[in-house]
């Protein structure tokens, strides 16, 4: 029973951490795509810059608050995950935007929700174990 309660609390903290990180990421991404344009190069640049800022915040929150793991090696694994996630996100957003001409931010939201679920499992089971 206590373990279930701890897991629920961890999931809620993860949702908060990821949600606020997502807001930072999507805000920076949106501003940058408005400034840089919506071509493939601009989407990749906006994705990278937004993800760098939001991932620093997210790593700090997840390592200190969510998983309470201060292992320095987790930083390396976390950023490997960030790079993979960033490539997948930018590639899918760019690919989908070429066929469905809607605002890239909306596409990014859908793509990143799927990535969010996978990331929790990877962070819990591998990075901050």
Q: How many domains does the chain have?
A: 1
46 within 8 A of 33, measured Cβ to Cβ: yes
pLDDT tens by residue, 17-70:
989 998 998 899 899 989 998 787 888 899 889 989 999 999 999 988 998 887
pLDDT of amino acid 1: 65
Q: In angstroms, how far is CA 55 from the centroid of its own chain?
A: 7
- Could you list the residue range(s) of the whole structural domain that residue 112 is in? 2-127
The CA distance from 107 to 103, in Å, is 7
């Amino acid at each position: 029973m206590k373990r279930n309660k701890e897991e629920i609390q961890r999931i809620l903290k993860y949702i908060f951490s990821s949600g606020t990180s997502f807001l930072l990421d999507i805000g920076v991404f949106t501003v940058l795509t408005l400034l840089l344009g919506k071509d493939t190069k601009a989407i990749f640049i906006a994705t990278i810059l937004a993800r760098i800022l939001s991932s620093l915040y997210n790593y700090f929150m997840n390592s200190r608050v969510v998983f309470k793991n201060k292992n320095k090696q987790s930083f390396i694994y976390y950023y490997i995950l960030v790079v993979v996630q960033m490539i997948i996100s930018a590639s899918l957003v760019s690919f989908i935007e070429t066929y469905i001409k809607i605002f890239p931010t909306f596409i990014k939201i859908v793509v990143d929700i799927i990535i969010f679920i996978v990331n929790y499992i990877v962070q819990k089971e591998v990075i901050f174990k």
